[in-house]
Structure 1
């Protein structure tokens, strides 16, 4: 029997309820952590290629073996920048830790315990400013007091060189935009503190080039601070230009690669199965996909999916592609946001009533779990789509389709599509084509036909599902054409609908040969009927009796019984007729709007 992820994997206790706020790193950790804390830090963190590059280049610089002095960590909020800084700081300050964690690199970079300066721009530094804080952390506050005691004055390049000297020194500058924001509000002479800070830090960067064992790491500045004023944007831009001239960019985490799975496995799982189990899962998925390939439902080969599963297990290979669609959202916190998002998928899988998941994917998100739904809405608000189309305690369209089909195919389809629809970028790539959906959803014991049929049924009733020109399907909080037509039909005034029903009925029963009758009148008021002309066909509203009571009374009270005939029906058919008339009327109005 093919093992499920719950059978084969042991999750970390915090994996189900991962809280991003509890895992936000602070640079002060570099200074405050004990040797045991540092060991634990490295034991639970995966060293990405970006972090490895920073560690190697940074330690080489501190050993005096590299010309590159300044590094800028390029990534959006929550992208592993502070994490990488802490890793470098912990290794730089402790030669013994270097020997334990990176023994080969330690042999190449022979230096003692480096001096560490960790600056977080949210620290304030109200009296001493950033340069005074750097001097304080180096144990040389008095040497720089002249630059802050009587107001802010920027140290020159020479001042920085004299302060730092020839000993290995690592200076970490994180979260600078908040400090620049504050600095723009403090006037200094004809300018402000932001200008003085820019000059002081620019001098620091240039000084570091002349100090053979000085290394500076700056977290990226562009696009990292919301609501920036013109002054703040200029201050950040000025310093960024200076940094760009001297800094080597490094991306701590590449979310487009398999590093995403390495990080998730390291942080969220305690144990994973051996290679043989992963092989069996990969083979089972390959077999399921090969059947779909035969029916030309998907394009991806069985060999491709098997290779990808070996790199992504216990996750479905589609996870990184889905996350790539919305990782640039302004409110999304890259690596930390990824951890929290995946935590909600794991929670959904571990709390499923059936133990039937062999690879964890976005299709398994259970949006009936409140904190799962809240997490999705924090990334992008799709509440309308979720409530009506995807998950609403059994009442959403997808859930109704599943109940009628006896499986969960529609819920998987809509959860996956919802995750692929979270991007808020302008001209964003959203959604999946049907073939792409099938590639992500096909699993052992869930053939492609189940998903195809469920998707077809779901599409016919969904309100918030849209289709792009490239045939990609996606969710939006804007109602689709079906919903707009239904709204228009529902809100149409009764007189308009009555008139439309009358017009259409008279059109249908319009006499052609004029043998049985010569005129037709639909849904007339009984008192308005006149029988003193040509023979007439009366289309009367039905009721619970046959013939309808109104028609029976009319028959009994008139003398011209041979001058008319009556067409009627039963009450349920009339209600049906009105509903269909409303939809036809709404469709006609919508077509006119599109044609205008």
Structure 2
């Protein structure tokens, strides 16, 4: 299938073909249209709408205008606020031609569907007043016969109703004071339906100074007029105001302009409907309609665009990701015959430059490009970045007009023209010359990098973007890739780093740097530099020690958790895992000549095998740039200021590249473990590999997150897991308790055990499970068969994990608790005391009673049933506590004294705390308030401060 070049399908407009366009013809001028002096394309409503693409924003705006002047709703005030060159004036012209009614709405392309949608059959004609801030003069009245119009409101009245309307506000116009909302509302009602178009309002109002009154009024009177107009227009159902304001303070100009913009925004914001007419994707159609006649050969367009889309998909790895989406084919269709990449670069990058107008600037540049390509017989399938005729003086001047000084030599020497290095390379190598591959690549880089990087995090354009702007269907991608690499080695102003390329007006020192890179030895220079940079990236975090390329003999064999970064030659990869695991295995087995016992405390960080070579190269570049800067500082070499600054920036860039490359390279975490199968531990070590996210802000936190999520490191341990571990490995029929200290040592030693972050994790797990009876009992030690400081199901704090602390199996703990309970004291027998009672022995004549003996420690009761001196019914105690150790001492009192009473079901135990504190300096209000609030929260019966 033969594909047609763009010039056989899309024919430019006559003014583009002849090159007769002028800058002014691309600038819509509302005043010239209003007074009838504009060019045909702007002054003729039919031609204007034929070349105007109605964007979604413009459609909604026109719908609101139609409804408003028809009295069917709509917004009374609309503010058009877009960036410089964003289509504000063009949108006002669309409204102007619509409401003037000089031609039938049926002749205006795109308007009938809007009328149908609004339900309007016959659109009424409206009076139109145009207030152009660039035309009005604050101190030079407009002459209309013998009448001098001084102010905006005077001009508004005259345009709406001539001298008759002007007489209604003559006094306000002559005095330079605002006529007020009521007068303006009455004026608008008289001459409605009406449309007021205010363009470049800030440009007019900023001319008024604070200390001088002009014929046009004052700054305040003009602001008051705008306020009165926005309020008065609401009362007129078929009157509407459209005003344009710049989007940024930079476009407002001076300090006075910024003040005017902020003030106007304040008053418009009270009533306005804000519209932003042009969306980025809609720019395709705007430019195409303005520059090209209607395209009728749709099949040829579809064939070309499908070929481009298929090429991008079939070679997906070579091009940016967005080209793999199905909508990219639609973008090609919508932008044809201009490639979407040109629009992307101009609208995303070039539009950020000062004075580059989003629509007008693109039109001006592309008009020159199309004119030159048409005359030179371009046979490209589409107009691409690679096809920009930068050899042409007109195109070149238009392109560099918005750039800083100094781009002429860049274009002449490195990019395009008979004397450019690209042309010389192509003349010597026909493989490149047959496609103009070097020039096409250089032009693409220029378009994508010349504006700098105001909206990007990184500099330059990636290789995929360069190929996107250069390659056409049927061409070999490898030729362009080779051309790019050739240019990277040869060009004087081309810079590159991390697969990104950009031109700069400062010459590079790349060739010198490349020569110096060869000096550096891998073992003596590169690996030490990598270690130094890795130390900066990897902090300690939760690890007790971080060891970068440290010999195994220098890493202690203790219970501290340690992260070991393996040397860069001990790489890990999908198909090459043996080098890293073998090296890590040596660390596990030995500490120097001695065996290593605490193997479960080591975690390893390994380099990715696919990135190490790149890391070495980046480090060599960094060392080379550093040596250039060092030689320049010590006056061993001579550089001009631009070259020196370029070298410094390249050094900083290379440092950032090395830092990023280290994160991308050292991204494998290796955690050793031993599997358990059938209740037996596998003697072979298994290595778990976890991949890190190189984009994480803090690598050490990313390491900790990955290890924790995969349970290769346990920072928090539930008591149920501790209990299960004890049941599985340490409690059995012959042993019902196990030392907590020995348990921690085992978790540090054996790779099939859980890897706890530190001893505190075990401590918190013990404390958390101590008040439950499901997990374990606790004892501070054992004396024979007696557990010391035994507790079971009682909260314990301040536990110290050592070998004396015992964790007791729950059933054994329950049995021991039962064995140490004191025997219950039986109630003493009741001794009856009445007549006939057998509870006592009554003597014969004297009536004396004999108290029975006490048995088994029981207390005898008297005739009234009260206890005698053996059993006491009430206990009371008082003691002083050390305020520093009060928490610990009180816990001991509970265990040693109070527990004896709380275990008795019938005992009524009440505990009161008495606190008495004094300070000769007194207690401030903050402390008093905090203590009172805490006492209330804790339910204190009383808590008072007093003077003495």
**Normalising by structure 2, what TM-score?**
0.49
Return 218-227 or 192-201, whichever deviates more.
Answer: 218-227
1:567 aligns to what? none
Tell me the CA shift for residue 399 of structure 1. 2.1
Consecutive unaligned residues of structure 2, counting only runs of 5 or more, are 142-149, 515-622, 634-647, 653-948
Instruction: Identify if the C-alpha distance between structure 1 residues 417 and 186 changes in structure 2 by more than 3 Å, giving closer, same or farther.
Output: farther
Relative distance call for 1:193 and 1:423 in structure 2 (3 A) is: farther
**Partners in 1 of 2:408 and 2:255 — Cα distance?**
34
Q: Distance in 2 between matches of 1:297 and 1:86?
A: 41
Partner of 1:129: 151
Residue 146 of structure 1 deviates from its aligned partner by 0.6
Does 2:123 align with 1:98?
no
Mapped partners of 1:241, 1:147: distance in 2:
24
Match of 2:312 in 1: 289
Instruction: Assess if the C-alpha contact under 8 Å between 1:485 and 1:587 holds in 2.
Output: no
The question of whether the paired residues in 2 share the 8 Å contact of 1:288 and 1:447 is answered with: no
CA contact (8 A) 2:461 2:501 kept: yes
| 2:177 corresponding residue in structure 1 | 153
More moved, 157-166 vs 382-391: 382-391
Partner in structure 2 of residue 10 of structure 1: 11
CA distance in 1, matches of 2:452, 2:232: 42
Cα distance change, pair 302–179 in 1 and its aligned pair in 2 (3 A)? closer
| Matched ranges for 1:234-273 at <5 A | 234-254=259-279, 256-257=280-281, 259-273=282-296
2:157–2:166 CA contact under 8 A, matched in 1: yes
Q: CA deviation at 1:298?
A: 5.5
Measured after TM superposition, the shift of residue 277 of structure 1 is 0.9
State how far apart, in whole Å, the 2-side matches of 1:416 and 1:52 are.
35
Output aligned runs, 1:69-218, within 5 Å: 69-94=76-101, 97-101=104-108, 102-106=111-115, 108-109=119-120, 110-125=122-137, 126-127=140-141, 128-139=150-161, 140-149=165-174, 151-165=175-189, 167-184=192-209, 187-188=212-213, 193-218=218-243
Residue pair 1:186, 1:193 contacting (<8 A) in 2 also: no
Q: What SS class does the counterpart of residue 394 from structure 1 fall into?
A: coil
> Shift of residue 32 of structure 1?
3.6
1:147–1:153 Cα contact (<8 Å) kept: yes
Distance across 1 between alignment mates of 2:4 and 2:180: 65
In 2, the alpha carbon distance for the partners of 1:10 and 1:111 equals: 36
CA apart distance, 1:192:
7.5
Q: Is the 8 A contact 1:171 1:216 kept in 2?
A: yes
Query: What is the deviation of 1:350?
Result: 1.7
CA contact (8 A) 1:345 1:362 kept: no
Q: In the TM superposition, what is the alpha-carbon distance from 1:5 to its structure 2 partner?
A: 0.8
Which one scores higher on RCO, CA 8 angstroms, separation ≥ 6? 1
1:466 to 482, 486, 495: 495
Change (3 A) 1:40 1:186: farther
Instruction: Name the SS for the 1:356 alignment partner.
Output: coil
Give the drift of 1:144. 1.3
Looking at structure 1, the residues matched to 115 and 314 of structure 2 have their Cα atoms a distance apart, in angstroms, of 52
CA-CA distance at 1:426 after TM superposition: 4.1
Are the equivalent residues in 2 in contact too, given 1:176–1:221 (CA < 8 A)? no
**Does structure 1 retain, via aligned residues, the 8 Å contact 2:83–2:246?**
no
Say whether 1:42 aligns with 2:49: yes
Q: Distance in 1 between matches of 2:511 and 2:151?
A: 58
Pairing 1:333–2:357 present: yes
Any idea what the Cα deviations from partners look like across 1:344-388, whole Å, max 9, x if unmatched?
3213422445x4200112221111111101111112233342122
* CA shift digits 1:203-232 (9 cap, x unpaired): 101111222111111112343765833233
Cα deviation for residue 178 of structure 1 reads 1.9
Q: In the TM superposition, what is the alpha-carbon distance from 1:111 to its structure 2 partner?
A: 4.6
Distance 1:7 1:468, change over 3 A: same
In 1, Cα distance between the equivalents of 2:178 and 2:510? Answer: 64
Any conservation in 2 of the 1:161–1:208 contact (CA below 8 Å)? yes
Q: 1: CA distance between counterparts of 2:23 and 2:397?
A: 14
2:503 to 445, 467, 475: 475
Is contact 1:463–1:479 with CA below 8 Å preserved after alignment?
A: yes
How is 1:514-533 mapped onto 2 (pairs within 5 angstroms)?
Answer: none
Aligned to 2:618: none
User: What is the match of residue 539 of structure 2?
Assistant: none
> Any conservation in 2 of the 1:413–1:441 contact (CA below 8 Å)?
yes
Between 1:321-330 and 1:460-469, the stretch displaced more is: 460-469
CA deviation after TM superposition for structure 1 residue 443, in Å: 0.8
1:426-575 counterparts in 2 under 5 A? 426=454, 428=456, 431-467=460-496, 471-482=499-510
TM-score, length basis structure 1: 0.75
1:385 partnered with 2:410: yes
d(CA) in 2 for partners of 1:484 and 1:250?
A: 54
How far, CA to CA, are the matches of 2:284 and 2:373 in structure 1? 17
In 2 relative to 1, CA 56–377 (structure 1 residues): closer, same or farther, beyond 3 Å?
Answer: same
- Equivalent-residue separation in structure 1 for 2:297 and 2:211 (angstroms): 60
SS of the residue aligned with 2:197?
Answer: strand
1:415 alignment partner, SS class? helix
Which 10-residue stretch deviates more, 432-441 or 219-228? 219-228
1:339: how far off? 0.7
The verdict on how the C-alpha distance between 1:92 and 1:450 changes in structure 2, with shifts beyond 3 A counting, is same
Distance 2:277 2:152 in 1: 25
**8 A contact 1:195–1:235 mirrored in 2:** no
Q: Is the 1:289–1:442 Cα contact (8 Å) retained in structure 2? A: no
Query: Aligned with 2:419: secondary structure?
Result: coil
Length, aligned pairs only: 492
Change (3 A) 1:588 1:183: same
Report how far residue 304 of structure 1 moved: 5.3
Structure 2 distance, partners of 1:227, 1:207, is 26
Structure 1 residue matching 2:196: 3-state secondary structure:
strand
Q: Separation in 1 of the partners of 2:248 and 2:624?
A: 49
Cα distance between partner residues in 1 of 2:27 and 2:196: 20
Tell me the distance in 2 between the aligned counterparts of 1:148 and 1:278.
Answer: 59
| Separation (CA, whole Å) in 2 of partners of 1:169 and 1:72 | 17
User: Residues of 1 paired with 2:314 and 2:115: CA distance?
Assistant: 52
Query: Normalized per residue, which structure has more helix?
Result: 1
Gap runs ≥5 in structure 1: 487-583
- Check the 8 A contact 2:130/2:196 in 1, yes or no: yes
Task: Identify the residue that residue 363 of structure 1 maps to in structure 2.
Answer: 386
Q: Structure 1 stretch 17-26 or stretch 325-334: which is displaced more?
A: 17-26
Given the superposition, is the C-alpha separation of residues 81 and 344 from structure 1 closer, same or farther in structure 2, using an over 3 Å criterion? same
Q: List structure 1 runs of 4+ shifted beyond 6 angstroms.
A: 483-486, 584-587
Q: Which residue of structure 2 lines up, in the alignment, with residue 278 of structure 1? A: 301
Cα gap change, 1:47/1:427 in structure 2, threshold over 3 Å: closer, same or farther? Answer: closer
Following TM superposition, by how much is the alpha carbon of 1:451 offset from its aligned partner in structure 2, in angstroms? 0.8
Equivalent residues of 1:30, 1:90 under 8 A apart: no
Q: For the structure 1 residues 92 and 227, does the alpha-carbon distance in structure 2 shift closer, same or farther, using more than 3 Å as the test? A: closer
Shift of residue 159 of structure 1?
A: 1.6
The verdict on how the C-alpha distance between 1:290 and 1:68 changes in structure 2, with shifts beyond 3 A counting, is closer
Name the CA shift for 1:47/1:168 in 2 (closer, same or farther; >3 Å).
Answer: same
Q: What are the Cα deviations for residues 434-475 of structure 1, in whole angstroms up to 9, with x where unaligned?
A: 012213322123221111011000011222223466x43222
